[in-house]
Structure 1
């Protein structure tokens, strides 16, 4: 029997430390830990970046996070934290708040619709300690079906030690397991879907896409200029932290980053992205990724338009603003 886990309607601020009330001792300092991994749909505790949350007003939240100085996948480069780590942090935050703020049961899938982020490069500098972040989040355009959250838009303002690090604007939809099974049809059978995953193709040269290890490359060679096949490694410990029935959103974000890096033709940082998750990218058919120059953004950074297609239809699009790394 499957038991649906629910979050109480009154959820205290996470991480509040114990007190020594009545003991004659001073109150104990609040200790820091990660939020429960289940709240951010992660299996590995080491992949949880969030440490705390609290309500800061009607439809407003403050979430604390920490970025490590080194990470197995979102590793630092050129003396800076990986800006794409902001997308993963926003993903975790949106899912956390769907549960603790909107009482969505833990077994309800959450799906991205759109994600936009922008990062101030000066705030990404590595120093001698992990980066402590404060995310100020407001909920907008909240749609409910009965008492259940269906969709919402969230706007983030992110600070690092009181300094502006970046912004995020994203939309999220939540589905009951029954609705999700209807949406996914035969792909809802996870065991069957994973058994039909395409063989892993060879990777492009890691240096072409700004990576050090072949295992972290998500693009494979394909015919045509600036065109690749999506490389889906369901054994990847970060991108596939747990089994899923489609290509995860962060895999698509990483494909956009790597495609833009290859198209720019020089070491670069993806300081901004505007991503649309159009359809589910399935695991049993090739997904083709292409990139082309798209002028410059308002800050003068070169932009690259990236499209992922499957069965002749776009499943994901992104515009990436790249800063050349020194």
Structure 2
């Protein structure tokens, strides 16, 4: 399998839309047929963002980031996507019950993360193709040596630089002045240990109405969340904000475990418009009473679902649904006790 490090040097990092080598996790990509390829990624044993958690499990957003890198990289290498363009995330979803079930063997949990994650990628959904834009649906199947983690899907629009500049108009990198980062909520309340990774401020939980709200916080000096070329709030930051609000509110709203014992295992998100750096963003959460567990309830009996939306300038910029579970409950379902 060809090494990504052989194909991507410091001068070629725009192919992955990342700006720092420590943020590239792909270790290999191999074409299987016209629309399928196999990618591998290495899980870091220590990372300022992806291992900054109170629960000792693989970060689901790390797996989503691996998908975000593997999909477009293979698209550019194998299915003719313009290597000099940009990609915009229109929607994403993931179901990762294996993170918190017996599919992850005990030796691959605390302190012994698997050396390699395998992503089987299908880039078969290509409904639209134009000279300056191409929409691709990437489907992922994720495994580790210990078993199956789950699946993910991303709807991505690949655009030329000139079309991107047209879409952004006057709000290019030079025009956007990020709001000063507000004081973060206490990290332990949202499952973090470092304030630099907290993307919420002013969290308010209304347990009587099963709702919560917060202000989006932008730590733009956090290189794991923001690169120097970003002229808007990345989708991954919005998903992180949704996760943090779920962890911060779940104990009071759903009677779930505290933040240090709750983890995100699934999500569906759609991104409707750019979220700008220079205007406030309200994050709102409401408990979802539907029983739909997308086949995860057998492995994860203590499953809670929430609706999350992001509002900026009076418009809903992004919205989605999340599912969380208790790490203790998940461990017991897999036949393992938690301390």
* TM-score, structure 2 as length reference: 0.81
Which string of whole-angstrom CA distances, capped at 9 and with x for unpartnered residues, describes residues 62-114 of structure 1?
A: 01111112221011543311122111111111221222123333431100111
Pick aligned residue for 2:2 from 14, 27, 34: 14
Alignment partners' CA distance in 2, 1:53 and 1:201: 40
State the secondary structure of the residue aligned to 2:188.
helix
Question: Shift in Å at residue 33 of structure 1?
Answer: 7.1
1:54 positional shift: 1.0
In 1, the alpha carbon distance for the partners of 2:8 and 2:140 equals: 19
| Structure 1 CA distance for aligned equivalents of residues 305 and 56 of structure 2 | 23
- What CA distance in whole angstroms lies between the structure 2 residues aligned with 1:252 and 1:34? 30
Q: Do the aligned partners of residues 33 and 78 (structure 1) sit closer, same or farther apart at CA in structure 2, a change above 3 Å counting?
A: farther
Pick which of 47-56 and 105-114 moved more: 105-114
- 8 Å CA contact 2:269, 2:319 repeated in 1: yes
CA distance, structure 1, for counterparts of residue 162 and residue 133 of structure 2 = 15
CA shift, 1:155, in A, is 1.1
Q: Does 1:293 align with 2:287?
A: yes
Q: Distance in 2 between matches of 1:15 and 1:78?
A: 31
Higher helix share: 2
When residues 162 and 101 of structure 1 are mapped into structure 2, their CA distance, relative to the original with a 3 A threshold, is: farther
1:27 matched to which residue of 2? none
Aligned pairs for 1:93-112 (under 5 A) are 93-112=70-89
Partner of 2:306: 304
Partner of 1:202: 183
Return the alpha-carbon distance in structure 1 between the equivalents of residues 7 and 287 of structure 2.
Answer: 40
- Residues 307 and 317, structure 1, Cα contact 8 Å, conserved in 2: yes
Partners of 2:218 and 2:8 lie apart in 1 by: 29
2:148 aligned with 1:164? yes
Give the aligned partner of residue 252 of structure 1: 238
Is 1:275 aligned to residue 256 of structure 2? Answer: no
- Answer yes or no: is the 8 Å Cα contact 1:269–1:323 preserved in 2: yes
Q: Larger relative CO (CA 8 A, sep 6+): 1 or 2?
A: 2
Displacement, 1:230? 0.5
Q: Is the 8 A contact 1:116 1:273 kept in 2?
A: yes
CA distance in 1, matches of 2:192, 2:73: 30
Root-mean-square deviation over aligned CA pairs:
2.2
Point out where structure 2 has 5 or more consecutive residues left out of the alignment. Answer: 207-211, 252-257, 329-339
Equivalent in 222, 230, 233 of residue 236 of structure 1? 222
Q: Does 1:113 align with 2:90?
A: yes
Q: What TM-score, normalized by structure 1, do the two folds share? A: 0.84
Asked if 2 retains the 8 angstrom alpha-carbon contact of 1:133 and 1:160, the reply is: yes
Q: What runs of 5+ residues in structure 1 fail to find an aligned partner?
A: 1-12, 17-31
Supply the distance in 2 between the matched residues of 1:292 and 1:146 (Cα, whole angstroms).
39
1:120-131 to structure 2, matched below 5 A, reads: 120=98, 121-122=100-101, 123=104, 125-126=109-110, 128=112, 130-131=114-115
How many residues matched? 296
- What is the rounded CA distance, in whole Å, between the counterparts of 2:74 and 2:128 in structure 1? 15
User: Structure 2 vs 1, CA of residues 246 and 205 (structure 1 numbering), >3 Å: closer, same or farther?
Assistant: same
Match of 2:36 in 1: 60
Structure with higher Rg: it is: 1
C-alpha distance in structure 1 between counterparts of 2:114 and 2:6, whole Å: 14
CA contact (8 A) 1:118 1:168 kept: yes
